[in-house]
Amino acid sequence: MDKKIVHQIIKSALIEDLGDGDHTSLSTIPAEEKGKAKLLVKEDGVIAGVKVAVEVCREVDPELKVEVLIEDGTTVRVGDIILYVSGKVQSILVAERLMLNLMQRMSGIATTTSKIVKQLAGTGTQVLDTRKTTPNLRYLEKLAVKIGGGVNHRFGLFDMILIKDNHIDYAGGIENAVKAAQAYLRDKNKNLQIEVEVRNLVELQRVLSIGGVDRILLDNFSFEDLRKAVKAVDKTIPTEASGNITIDNALEYAKCGVDYISMGALTHSVKGLDLSLKAVVN
């Protein structure tokens, strides 16, 4: 976990939430009041964001003490206690919602990813995330995919060339787009992989004829055409299937023989895992 990136996210989120002060806690809780709270699991799943929660507490108040009982990536059940946090009550209450928001989101992603990874066990197909993430939370959402057993695809626009349908259409065709990308890398002396999206078997044959690409993205293919595409490629280039892949049909895509399936659903529409922070009162 890159703590520098995580703390940038936390600082920005606290500014958004805290404003000029938590006036509810300031008005009802004495400044020096000490207390303890527990983070409870209210829904079965895979927990993620524990290390992030610890950093939230450190950012809010370095004197807060966090006792972690369950680590990231662990399967949890209703009633499990993830951690205890103790210290100034006002500080605990400031940290509460940010801890929960991040952990619920991350745990939902990890839980969904884990289910799909287990479905695909033995197929040889890996699960990839996409750039369909929440703005400014991409790092945490992709971290949650890894915690759930998935594989991160490119992080952004800068770390891979991914030629998609719009690039192809604007470039005047798939040959123009691929050859321009190859020339760009030579001219700029950049070492980036090239992945090309194809929409049908005809485009696939064009890419195979051109050569010089590192991965082929088979977008919105029928299962029949996907099997034909995998056979045509014949393991010479890694293949990736994408387009409306869900937890319900992921296994069927994997059975077509692709090396990867990429799923925007891992991050763009996943349900958060239900968690709660409760005061521990003697």
* Active site amino acids: 97, 132, 164, 197, 219
Give the span between the Cα atoms of 117 and 39, in whole angstroms: 27
- CA pair distance 91, 86, nearest whole angstrom: 9
Query: Rounded CA gap, 41 and 275, in Å?
Result: 5
- Strands, E, within the chain: which ranges? 34-41, 45-46, 65-68, 75-76, 81-88, 126-128, 161-163, 194-198, 215-219, 239-242, 260-262, 275-279
Neighbours of 112 (CB within 10 A): 27
Q: Which residues neighbour 141 within 8 Å (Cβ) at sequence distance 6 or greater?
A: 105, 106, 109, 129, 133, 134, 267
Token digits of residue 248: 């319900």
> Is-contact 56 93, C-beta < 8 A?
no
Answer for the pair 147, 110: CB distance below 8 angstroms, yes or no: yes
Q: Which residues pair with 126 in a beta bridge?
A: 260
- Can you say whether residue 20 is alpha, beta or left, with left for phi > 0 and alpha for psi between -120 and 50 degrees? alpha
